[in-house]
Structure 1
Amino acid sequence: MSEDKIGYDDVREYEHLFKLAPSFLLERFAKKEKNVVSKFKSQVESHLNNLSDAQKEKLKIILSTDVGQLQEVMAEAYRKTEIKQYKILANPKYRGFVELNLKEVKKIFRE
């Protein structure tokens, strides 16, 4: 990660989190623009509370990065790994889903 930019290497260390939701479910949620973060709020809060300082800094960068740029990182991650969840999150037609859920994380993560 450069000073204020997220790249594939930053995503790679959290690959297991992207694979928690089966791709068919993630795509269903994305198509319907579901607020997944609010549905799993307690788990998200618990995870956020256990972040290291370095992870909190990365999260701040993610939350301030344009969704289009984040989707480009997801597209790169998909090209390198072929993990379907990355492909779904990179899809421009699901931008609203990504924006909605990032907005919900911002509400929870007040650092």
Structure 2
Amino acid sequence: MEEIDVPIAIDGCGHSHGDERKSHHSDKMKQGLTSRLNRIEGQIRGIKGMIEKDTYCDDVLTQIAAAQSALGSVAKLLLEGHLKSCVIERVQAGEHEVVEELLVTINKLMK
């Protein structure tokens, strides 16, 4: 018997009929996040260059703190969108385990 490729159906953010979960960010949101992440990527390359050039440690640490703060901002945006769409949709669908999943994620972010 021949296998047929069937796309995974997504019901809202993160919920799927299969093993794969996906979000549904707007193109504007994806573009904004990608832009922020590109800047962070540049910051990380800059930090690497500072270390290679034996830049004063305090200056490197300041740049690391800036990169961490920028990543935190990306995480906050994603968390806000996740709460306003994914979590609400799943709780309304009776999938209350999403709250426990969210708590685990928040604990990871707060480390």
Q: Same fold per TM (> 0.5)?
A: no
Calculate the TM-score normalised by the size of structure 2: 0.29
Whose helix fraction is larger, Structure 1's or Structure 2's? 1
Higher relative contact order (CA 8 A, sep 6+): 1
Q: TM-score, length-normalised on structure 1?
A: 0.29
- The structure with the largest alpha-carbon Rg is 2
